[in-house]
Amino acid sequence: MTNTFVRACALDELEEDTPKRVELEGVPIALVRTEGEVFAVNDICSHANVSLSEGEVEDCQIECWLHGSSFDLRTGKPSGLPATRPVPVYPVKIEGDDVLVSVTQES
Ligand code: FES
């Protein structure tokens, strides 16, 4: 299996702790720059159809603004109810000034 990375945005378009929504190959992604790293998680809350990129970032978690579940940016796992399922996370690579994300895996 190899990851195919596509360019999501320039690194300096990402402000610390301010999520940015991008769409890559039809997949909505919330990109978050925090604690010196960039993370990519699926932008749709696993509880209902709500954009996580409109929520707040704290302690490497992104909070769903509707009911307050927070998702770990490293694993996608929710820290508490009402969400019980993780959101998908995607590998991120920084190349020069570009942020690359892999939303697809090819075998
Ligand atoms: S829609 Fe996100 S926690 Fe309910």
What is d(CA 13, CA 105) in angstroms, rounded to the nearest whole number? 26
Length of the chain: 107
Q: How far apart are CA 90 and CA 74, in angstroms?
A: 9
| CA 96 – ligand 1 centroid, Å | 35
Percentage of the chain beyond pLDDT 90 is: 93
| Full-model pTM | 0.94
Residues at CB less than 6 angstroms from ligand 1: 45, 47-48, 50, 64, 66-67, 69, 82-83
pLDDT averaged over the chain?
Answer: 95
pLDDT at 106: 59
Give the three-state DSSP class for 12. Answer: helix
Rounded to the nearest 5 degrees, what angle is found at the Cα of 31, between the Cα atoms of 39 and 105? 65
Domains of the chain and CATH, by start: 2-106 (2.102.10.10)
pLDDT, tens digit, for every residue of 24-60? 999 999 999 999 999 999 999 999 999 999 999 999 9
Q: For 61-99, what is each residue's pLDDT tens digit? A: 999 999 999 999 999 999 999 999 999 999 999 999 999
